[in-house]
Homo-oligomer: A and B are copies of this chain.
Amino acid sequence: MADRSGPQGNETLLFLTDEHLRKGIEAMFFAYRGFTADPDRILGEKGYGRAHHRAIHFIKRTPGTTVNNLLSILGVTKQSLNRVLRTLIDDGLVQSEVGTRDKRERHLNLTETGLELERELSNAQRDRMRTAFRQTGPEAVAGFRQVLEAMMDSDMRRHYARLKDAEV
């Protein structure tokens, strides 16, 4: 929100040049590849894809979540999500229970098998994140999260913040 560079000091704005912005763009591109590389390998071996990982992650993250809630977090269509959920339910990784208060809803949870895969995936992804965090230190990590948060769409920031408040 606030422009933290003074109005007179031009040298304080040097981090906003097009060259620096392009470097930031390419950093996002290359880093995201690394970010997904390890889970992708594991998923590939088991016949799943990134979409399954995302579903598994957020079900683990918000146990008992409904399909609609998952849709708004993932930002895909219900048909797309349904295809993924169907295979996870059929394979016994996800359990779908009719809601008690509202019987139209389905509450989603990971089964023991689902939790196992989730652990395998998030261990791999966390390992890389941990290494990167350790290499760069807490101040860099704080900046990393600030910039990423500022880059989100506002509705996604809501999801992110809600999760943050709930657990951290």
Contacts and interface: CB of A to CB of B under 8 A. Distances in A.
Given A21-B129, A125-B25, A168-B23, A152 B31 contact: yes
Contacts of A25: 35, 57, 122, 125-126, 129
A138 interface: yes
A19 B101 CA distance: 31
A140 B16 CA distance: 12
A138 B26 contact: no
Contacts of A10: none
A97 B14 CA distance: 37
B18 A126 contact: yes
Copies of the protein in its oligomer: 2
Nearest to A141: B15
B152 A30 contact: yes
A127 B100 CA distance: 46
A31 B1 contact: no
B167 A19 contact: yes
B1 A135 contact: yes
19 contacts: A1-B135, A5-B137, A14-B138, A15-B138, A18-B126, A21-B129, A21-B133, A25-B125, A25-B126, A26-B160, A28-B32, A31-B149, A32-B32, A34-B151, A34-B156, A136-B147, A139-B143, A143-B144, A143-B146
Interface of A: 1-5, 12, 14-16, 18-35, 37, 54, 57, 61, 75, 122, 125-126, 128-153, 156-157, 159-160, 163-164, 167-168
